[in-house]
Structure 1
Amino acid sequence: MNALLSDWTTPFGLPPFDAIRDEDWGPAVDVALEEARAGIAAIAGDPEAPTFANTIAALERADERLGRVLGAFHAVAGAASNDARQALERDFAPKLSAYSSEITANTALFARIDDLWERRDSLGLSREEMRVLYLTHRGFVRSGARLEGEAVQRMKDVKARLAVLGTQFTQNVLADEREWFMPLSEADAEGLPDFVLQAARAAGESKGQGGPVVTLSRSLIVPFLQFSPRRDLRRKAYEAWVARGANGGATDNRAIAAEMLALREERARLLGFGSFADWKLETEMAREPARVKDLLMQVWTPARAAAERDAAVLEGMLRADGHPGPLEPWDWRYYSEKRRAAEHDLDEAALKPFFQLDRMIEASFAVASRLFRLEFREIEDAPRYHPDVRVWEVTRDGRHMATFVGDFFARDGKRSGAWCGAMRSQSRLDGEVRPIVTNVCNFAKSEAGPSLLSWDDARTLFHEFGHALHQMLSDVTFESISGTRVARDFVELPSQLYEHWLEVPEVLEDFATHAETGEPMPRDLRERLLAAATYDMGFQTVEYVASALVDMAFHDGPAPADPMQRQAEVLESLGMPRAIRMRHATPHFAHVFSGDGYSAGYYSYMWSEVMDADAFAAFVEKGDPFDAELAASLERNILSAGGSEEADALYTRFRGRMPGVEALLKGRGLVAA
């Protein structure tokens, strides 16, 4: 019995993870692909004249089983990887790329879609149906449906190779992260707060070591860089962290990045575009590379000035400690943390006990309850792919809205970072289908007592839950436009907007309670924390914007033969401060090279931030962060609407206009308040 191919009788249709064996995935994908191909062939060969129902709606249904199997597989492949699952990823990548290419190269199928598009105004379609027809037609054209001759096969080959390379890139980074660790002796650990030592001991135990270790998990290496007084160890850890994907040998990603950039340029030129960035941005809010660069440079200039001022102060602290300088990247977090403690009277070790993971989960749920009347009930007996995973049913007024899956702790086999996914998306084409939404994070797990988060960790939790709400509250007919299936530079709006509610004083008062005493965070500490919200924002903005500008430089124009040289040239032209590196150097820039999602699109976080700063200002103007009328408008016009309309139309309906960059700069403390 292959559990993936049987009916799932689990709660809310969750994948039966406890019954799935690794050897089940391959046969299940093969069967699902065969079914999907048969469905596509039936649509393309239908003797009846094309209609929306027998062509567009039929396409929505054609690969239902494939979507179900892959939804479950991608969840475990990203968060609970092993050798067998990595081999499956490598096997699936070309198969799925070939299937996708077969569809868009199916001339009979495209002829039906093109016919419907030409007759669209006479079909009597609803607004949502017209939108789906438009997006389907556009997607086929952008994928090469109008190509002829040798270009058709070349496009298939390019997309297949890109799929293989993206998988290999991801697995190489994961391998480098998994293999490296630095044992800490008793002397090495001096000066580290208890919460860092606890996380290091837990990491040592998972690595089979007899004592604490530092790994390349962000939730461990960042606090180590903040608190270790040992400059030599900070340097060793930092250099290992930034060298991921660039260590030579089988896991080196530099040649992979170069090949991917060349293939992306070729793909765009086959479709008649001047560059990959031109092709990519055609469907985004930004529309063209020049607008992206303009936004980024409006932010870069004041951010770099702020960072240079901060660097001078930190270098002075370094010299006062007896080091001749200059300030290096492995010094920044250490001296910035000391400066924050001095200037804002904020000690991370004293602050962290107020951010218990469980209480922050409760806080994210409570905000959703007040804004959108959602309720959350944990399901103890739900199937799960790892013991750390937790599952909740989400309801509103007794109606099932979604199933929420939370996987919060770092471990071997989980790729780094944090993300939101959907094992199943919302739709109602054939009856109501509610989503199964996942949030995956990499927080340090405590082996004794509650697991504690940093302020940045807590923001990450709220950020990913904002994405989850976009999925949970989706209310459209067609899966292809549900939830987060929106323009890439719009998709981060709900997530970044939701972060603002973590800063609402009454949320902190209710949920930022001390892990030992249970007492709420003292008001003066809360006020100091919020007052320091823009502390070190020059550093944070510079490392992000540099990455976004390098991404755009890679894709706007001819592909660089040597991406590392191009990266260096861009940073030099920007005047990158010496003591700050890109947030994601090219060899581990997974956003850009693990797939096409954020390629020529890493800027989108900042594009969305322009909107999220302005959107939360609407609540501030109302004088109530939980204003019911505004919350209903936010849900109606953005969270429930998916990709049913253009993003700028949806935002304008919520806010009345599109925003400028001023609110972003003010929110980051880069202009005078």
Structure 2
Amino acid sequence: MYSCATSTDSNPFFSEFKTEFGAPPFDKIKIEHYEPAFKKGIEEQNQNIQAIIDNKQEPDFENTIVALDNSDPILSRVSAIFFNMTDAETTDELTQLSIKIAPVLSEHNDNIYLNQALFKKVNAVYQKKETAKLTTEQSRLLDETYKSFVRSGANLDNQKQARLREINKELSTLGITFSNNILNENNSFKLVVDKKEDLAGLPDWFCESAAQEAKADGKEGKWLFTLHNASRLPFLQYAENRALREKMYKAYINRGNNNDKNDNKKIITQIVSLRLEKAQLLGFDCYSNFVLDNTMAKNSETVMAFLNNLWQYSLPKAKEEAAELQKLMDKEGKNEKLEAWDWWYYTEKLRKEKYNLDEEETKPYFKLENVRQGAFDVAHKLYGITLTPLKNIPVYHPDVEVFEVKDADGSHLGVFYVDYFPRPGKSGGAWMSNYREQHGNIRPLVCNVGSFTKPVGDTPSLLTLDEVETLFHEFGHGLHGLLTKCNYAGISGTNVVRDFVELPSQIMEHWATEPEVLKMYAKHYKTGESMPDSLINKLLKQKTFNQGFMTTELLAAAILDMNLHNLKDVKGLDVVAYETEAMNKLGLITEIAPRYRTTYFNHIIGGYAAGYYSYLWANVLDSDAFEAFKEHGIFDQKTASLFRSNVLEKGNSEDPMTLYKNFRGAEPKLDAMLKNRGMK
């Protein structure tokens, strides 16, 4: 009997995971389990939705809204794990399956939100909202559920709904192809150096790492550099060979724009066109106003005014920095003009000249494990929580580590996974996600994924300051997911509007470089000695250094994103020419490119369309919020408790500005952000 059992019969997704904490059994999950689980999950949710429709009782919050929120147990399990795997540890098989499954899921989603019998029930509950005696959280879930149906086309006629279905299906696969093309571009570029003199300026640890990469790629005796941040950025910072810097830089900014099999120009044009058509079907003049109708900003006009206001501060600052770098180049007497591929190199030289600070001086104090413990210790001092390693939890890759998170009273809060090093199957960048959402008594399973500097030989992973802040940033998202206390999955944790979600992450970055915190975790990896005050002072003095560049490249990308989605007509759109025209109109200097150019702007494929401004919008919030901690002490328990109870625990259970004002006592001001960026 057992020998005849199929993989479907023992599919781990078909029931709650029978593991400690309900953790995903990665040691048992196989590629053949995903598709049957998606199919069964869709079938299960369809049955649950039909039960809501067939219920003879009068529609109410419990039998309609809560029932819908809880209607997809299997689908939630398999989706959370599958889509994390396609980002963190993808394979050709997973990629093919994601392309196959995307239109199926798109159709299933449309079948729910365009189901008139179901919408009739939801609408009936919504119309009685004022007399239903709901809690604030229940009222919020009802609003969000009703809005989801309307924004998904429930009020459209049959012909428009049919077209909307086609658009959604097409968008679902185009996005996957776009992202896979970028991953392929990242993996295909290899800068192989075979002459030692071409390594001039590069730190020994970096050369050793490149030698290991070359050996693993069958090129022993050479050095291999890639487009992953942990390889590209140090190369641009330190390589004296200007021609090789140019080669590296141009390969990076031309990803998806090489007229080859990974070209994204046609794909992004189709995406922008389909999004515009979708927005217009739903009654909006452009896609940005459709997206922003469901955010703190509310509309494109507000966002553009915000971004253009910041641009007036950032561009002059960037021009000052460019002039300073040009002077440094002129001193060398080579008669060279500053180009974009020179910026990192001469910025590093200028940092050393102005502050007597070299990033190589700080890296020995930023051993990854110490930095991570520093983030954990900050959370402990603020909220009383502890994170303890778990050794018996299955993982999908040896790099992954797991921790149990407990509250101050010892109660279980959740499980936290970390996966920090770059691999060919992993998307670039860093992110937080869930394997299970919190709701009621169900505690979350949260992960942080990054692409930080790898260990080399006997040398552990030593982070750059940017990587340190990224680790704290993603842990901030993790805390948002771990500390949430909501009754309903649909509004728990990070399920908040896009321009509020970056507040918990970005505020954590502030602690990373506070002297008191640096003393806690910044210890030399060889001697164990704390970072000396002299070095801490150098770090603090240069905090606003290069902020013109950092803010301008970020703003340029945010404005580019908005421009693309503000379009009301995309006929004949040439995205590269449009980008050039838009940046020229802004007056962006040639030495700086947008942080993400159109053909590799993965954020606007993965949920930040007309939303990349959110990082800067939330920077106003986090800078203003951290002022509260500075006013009362960075570990002040009352302030921490207010932030936890009004932001981290609340998810999307109330209006975000209400939550912010409940914490801070007033709406945020721009001053702290401008001051932190050296623009005021």
TM (norm. structure 1) is 0.97
1:6-30: CA deviations, max 9, x gaps?
5422221111111111121111111
Q: Return the alpha-carbon distance in structure 1 between the equivalents of residues 639 and 208 of structure 2.
A: 43
1:288 aligns with 2:329: no
> In the alignment, which residue of structure 1 is the partner of 2:315?
304
Measured after TM superposition, the shift of residue 612 of structure 1 is 0.5
Instruction: State which of 345, 350, 354 in structure 1 corresponds to 2:361.
Output: 350
> In the alignment, which residue of structure 1 is the partner of 2:72?
63
SS in 1 for 2:456: coil
Q: Return the alpha-carbon distance in structure 1 between the equivalents of residues 11 and 59 of structure 2.
A: 37
After superposing the two structures, state which structure 1 stretch, 206-215 or 536-545, moved more. Answer: 206-215
Change (3 A) 1:659 1:403: same
- The one-letter amino acid of 1:587's match is T
- The one-letter amino acid of 1:469's match is L
1:100-148: CA deviations, max 9, x gaps?
1011110000000111111112222222111111110011101100011
Measured after TM superposition, the shift of residue 381 of structure 1 is 1.8
1:195 aligns with 2:205: yes
Change (3 A) 1:250 1:585: same
> In the alignment, which residue of structure 2 is the partner of 1:265?
276
1:455 aligns with 2:461: no
Q: Return the alpha-carbon distance in structure 2 between the equivalents of residues 177 and 491 of structure 1.
A: 28
Measured after TM superposition, the shift of residue 243 of structure 1 is 1.3
Instruction: State which of 436, 454, 469 in structure 2 corresponds to 1:424.
Output: 436
After superposing the two structures, state which structure 1 stretch, 561-570 or 355-364, moved more. Answer: 561-570
- The one-letter amino acid of 1:349's match is E
1:396-433: CA deviations, max 9, x gaps?
121110100000001111000000001111101xxx10
> In the alignment, which residue of structure 1 is the partner of 2:324?
313
Measured after TM superposition, the shift of residue 556 of structure 1 is 1.2
1:5 aligns with 2:1: no
1:171 aligns with 2:180: yes
After superposing the two structures, state which structure 1 stretch, 193-202 or 72-81, moved more. Answer: 193-202
Q: Return the alpha-carbon distance in structure 2 between the equivalents of residues 33 and 195 of structure 1.
A: 50
1:204-239: CA deviations, max 9, x gaps?
244333132110101110011000000000001111
> In the alignment, which residue of structure 2 is the partner of 1:127?
136
SS in 2 for 1:130: helix
1:136 aligns with 2:148: no
> In the alignment, which residue of structure 2 is the partner of 1:575?
587
> In the alignment, which residue of structure 2 is the partner of 1:410?
422
Measured after TM superposition, the shift of residue 377 of structure 1 is 0.8
1:523 aligns with 2:523: no
CA contact (8 A) 1:10 1:383 kept: no
1:392 aligns with 2:403: yes
> In the alignment, which residue of structure 1 is the partner of 2:231?
220
1:608-630: CA deviations, max 9, x gaps?
000100000011111x1000000
Q: Return the alpha-carbon distance in structure 1 between the equivalents of residues 151 and 255 of structure 2.
A: 34
Measured after TM superposition, the shift of residue 559 of structure 1 is 4.5
> In the alignment, which residue of structure 2 is the partner of 1:585?
597
Q: Return the alpha-carbon distance in structure 2 between the equivalents of residues 615 and 208 of structure 1.
A: 51
- The one-letter amino acid of 2:229's match is R
CA contact (8 A) 1:199 1:444 kept: no
Change (3 A) 1:322 1:10: farther
- The one-letter amino acid of 1:53's match is E
SS in 2 for 1:15: coil
1:324 aligns with 2:331: no
After superposing the two structures, state which structure 1 stretch, 383-392 or 246-255, moved more. Answer: 246-255
SS in 2 for 1:62: coil
> In the alignment, which residue of structure 1 is the partner of 2:495?
485
Change (3 A) 1:456 1:528: same
> In the alignment, which residue of structure 1 is the partner of 2:28?
19
Instruction: State which of 615, 618, 625 in structure 2 corresponds to 1:605.
Output: 615
Q: Return the alpha-carbon distance in structure 1 between the equivalents of residues 311 and 317 of structure 2.
A: 10
Measured after TM superposition, the shift of residue 318 of structure 1 is 2.2
SS in 2 for 1:33: helix
Paired-residue identity, %: 39
Q: Return the alpha-carbon distance in structure 2 between the equivalents of residues 455 and 144 of structure 1.
A: 46
Instruction: State which of 42, 53, 59 in structure 1 corresponds to 2:51.
Output: 42
Q: Return the alpha-carbon distance in structure 2 between the equivalents of residues 464 and 71 of structure 1.
A: 18
CA contact (8 A) 1:202 1:446 kept: no
> In the alignment, which residue of structure 2 is the partner of 1:627?
636
Q: Return the alpha-carbon distance in structure 1 between the equivalents of residues 213 and 297 of structure 2.
A: 42
> In the alignment, which residue of structure 1 is the partner of 2:659?
650
Q: Return the alpha-carbon distance in structure 1 between the equivalents of residues 426 and 214 of structure 2.
A: 17
CA contact (8 A) 1:29 1:69 kept: yes
- The one-letter amino acid of 1:240's match is A
Query: Map of 1:221-236 to 2, 5 A cutoff?
Result: 221-236=232-247
After superposing the two structures, state which structure 1 stretch, 537-546 or 553-562, moved more. Answer: 553-562
Q: Unmatched 5+ residue regions in structure 2?
A: 1-9
Q: Return the alpha-carbon distance in structure 2 between the equivalents of residues 184 and 444 of structure 1.
A: 20
> In the alignment, which residue of structure 2 is the partner of 1:503?
513
Measured after TM superposition, the shift of residue 190 of structure 1 is 2.2
- The one-letter amino acid of 1:381's match is N
> In the alignment, which residue of structure 2 is the partner of 1:161?
170
SS in 1 for 2:312: helix
Q: Return the alpha-carbon distance in structure 2 between the equivalents of residues 168 and 604 of structure 1.
A: 25
- The one-letter amino acid of 1:496's match is Q
Q: Return the alpha-carbon distance in structure 1 between the equivalents of residues 118 and 226 of structure 2.
A: 50
Query: Map of 1:440-479 to 2, 5 A cutoff?
Result: 440-448=449-457, 449-479=459-489
CA contact (8 A) 2:205 2:456 kept: no
CA contact (8 A) 1:464 1:495 kept: yes
Query: Map of 1:360-375 to 2, 5 A cutoff?
Result: 360-375=371-386
- The one-letter amino acid of 1:194's match is D
Measured after TM superposition, the shift of residue 81 of structure 1 is 0.7
SS in 2 for 1:17: coil
Q: Return the alpha-carbon distance in structure 1 between the equivalents of residues 206 and 338 of structure 2.
A: 24
Q: Return the alpha-carbon distance in structure 1 between the equivalents of residues 333 and 189 of structure 2.
A: 30
Instruction: State which of 650, 656, 676 in structure 2 corresponds to 1:641.
Output: 650
Q: Return the alpha-carbon distance in structure 1 between the equivalents of residues 669 and 49 of structure 2.
A: 45
SS in 2 for 1:250: coil
Q: Return the alpha-carbon distance in structure 1 between the equivalents of residues 543 and 217 of structure 2.
A: 35
- The one-letter amino acid of 2:149's match is F
Q: Return the alpha-carbon distance in structure 2 between the equivalents of residues 290 and 315 of structure 1.
A: 37
> In the alignment, which residue of structure 1 is the partner of 2:161?
152
CA contact (8 A) 1:107 1:145 kept: yes
SS in 2 for 1:409: coil
Q: Return the alpha-carbon distance in structure 2 between the equivalents of residues 459 and 152 of structure 1.
A: 45
CA contact (8 A) 2:15 2:74 kept: no
- The one-letter amino acid of 1:492's match is E
- The one-letter amino acid of 1:416's match is G
SS in 2 for 1:437: strand
Change (3 A) 1:255 1:355: same
Q: Return the alpha-carbon distance in structure 2 between the equivalents of residues 129 and 41 of structure 1.
A: 23
CA contact (8 A) 1:261 1:559 kept: no
Measured after TM superposition, the shift of residue 306 of structure 1 is 1.0
Change (3 A) 1:76 1:206: farther
Q: Return the alpha-carbon distance in structure 1 between the equivalents of residues 345 and 191 of structure 2.
A: 18
Q: Return the alpha-carbon distance in structure 2 between the equivalents of residues 450 and 79 of structure 1.
A: 22
> In the alignment, which residue of structure 2 is the partner of 1:255?
266
CA contact (8 A) 1:420 1:440 kept: yes
